[in-house]
Amino acid sequence: MKKYFLLIYYGLMSLIFSLQSIVYINDLGDQNWFRAMFSKYSFLEFALFRYQTWSSRLLIESVTMFMAAHYLIFDLCMFISVILFFYYFNGVFLKDEKYYKLRFVTPVLFLLAFPSVFFTSAGLIATVTNYLFPMVAFMGAWYYLEKRKKGYFILSLLLMVFACMQEQFTIYALLLFGYYLIKTWIQERKIDSYYSVMIFISALGTLSALLSPGSEARLSAEIKTWYPNFESLSFVVKITKGYLETNRVLIVTSELAIIYLLLGAILVLAFLKRNYLSASISISVGFVIISQRLGTSNLLNAVQKIIDYQNQRMTEAFSFQENLYPLVIYSILLLALTIAVFMLFSDIWQAVSAVIILAVGYAARMTVALSPTIYASGLRTYTPLIFSGLILLVMFMREYRNTVCDR
């Protein structure tokens, strides 16, 4: 009975998300073009056409075309996908029966971290099919992988193949399962074949993204449209600009709810565990971010002045000297948060895993630095990082249940 009650709850929370999302479904976006393509191409024909001319995402592109022409099917698929995400997510991180009550919190955190407006920057349908659906597929692949049974493993493979057609989740899978492979070898002195296969699939996804004819064509088109001098930038400059832009959104403009959720969770857990250093870090970083949001004097005022000056100057020339202060202050704040997170866990491997998961999400977001749309892609490219933040929030809840409640 408890299981059915939980599923009903998932359905209600997914319904809230779906109803909220439908409000934006007719907003301008890429779905108009995809809908026009539905009368010209079959499902597989369109996948091959896009692979040759625009993107390595193959099935994701075809799913987008199909959904753009079938709004009701899209609504239903979105509703079911979010229910599955809750089920998969809790099945991986809260599978122990002692965490039963915590399973009711995950959907709430999801709605707070991923409000529907987050999935609208390229139009609701295109953004959901290119970001939400791959995230659900990735979570499903992870869930079935942990079952460690042949039938489930095949299903895991299929879902991972779909997830790895999205470039950011390809990198996410490669780094995450690479870490778990190393962790397993250190702890058990064996190579986990399941993780090895996932690494192989994600490596193929990475190669597909790099070598597909469509990726090259897309890069050329986007350079002309968004960043004419992009090719003249060195690799180091591209990464640095990606680092600056990522942290601008996270820290200076603080546009993502996940940063506030993480800071609040760190503070609460730190006080409950009497870890006053982590609490102090959370308060300090939170004060800086909120002060910047409120427009009062703080450490980020100088960063904002540099950003405003560069925007007014309208030049694409990059100077490390000019950006030295933002680079330093961002690094200090991120390092402080990393220390705060690490110190909250009693088990060393839980602490390491938490930091690695957060770093993997950050790295997946940073892949946008290698794209000329670095300043045009919008918040949707932060999906992997928010996903990592969501995992961290649940890990904090588990730590509270395992240590504070069991005293």
SS (H, E, C) 2-34: HHHHHHHHHHHHHHHHHHHHHCCCCCCCCHHHH
What is the model's pTM?
0.94
Whether residue 270 is contained in a domain is answered as: yes
DSSP code string of 317-340: ---TTTTHHHHHHHHHHHHHHHHH
Whether residue 369 is contained in a domain is answered as: yes
Q: Domain residues for 381? A: 228-407
- For 40-49, the CB contacts below 8 A with 24+ separation are 41/65
In order along its 407 residues, the chain shows pLDDT tens digits of 666 889 999 999 999 999 999 999 888 778 888 888 988 888 888 888 888 888 888 889 999 999 999 999 999 999 999 999 999 999 999 999 899 999 999 999 999 999 988 998 888 999 999 999 999 999 999 999 999 888 899 999 999 999 999 999 999 999 999 999 999 999 998 898 999 999 999 999 999 888 888 778 787 887 887 787 888 888 898 999 999 999 999 999 888 999 999 999 999 999 999 999 999 999 999 999 999 999 898 899 999 888 888 777 655 678 888 889 999 999 999 999 999 999 999 999 999 999 999 999 999 999 988 888 877 778 899 999 999 999 999 999 999 988 766 55
Q: How many domains does the chain have?
A: 1
| CA distance linking residue 326 with residue 294, whole number of Å | 19
| CA distance linking residue 289 with residue 258, whole number of Å | 13
DSSP code string of 143-205: HHHTT--HHHHHHHHHHHHHHTTSHHHHHHHHHHHHHHHHHHHHHHSS--HHHHHHHHHHHHH
Whether residue 81 is contained in a domain is answered as: no
pLDDT score of 369:
86
Whether residue 67 is contained in a domain is answered as: no
Whether residue 201 is contained in a domain is answered as: no
pLDDT score of 127:
92
| CA distance linking residue 188 with residue 193, whole number of Å | 13
Whether residue 63 is contained in a domain is answered as: no
Whether residue 375 is contained in a domain is answered as: yes
Q: How many other C-beta atoms are found inside a 10 Å radius of the C-beta of residue 142?
A: 23
- Residue 2 and residue 100 in contact, taking contact as beta carbons nearer than 8 Å: yes
Whether residue 117 is contained in a domain is answered as: no
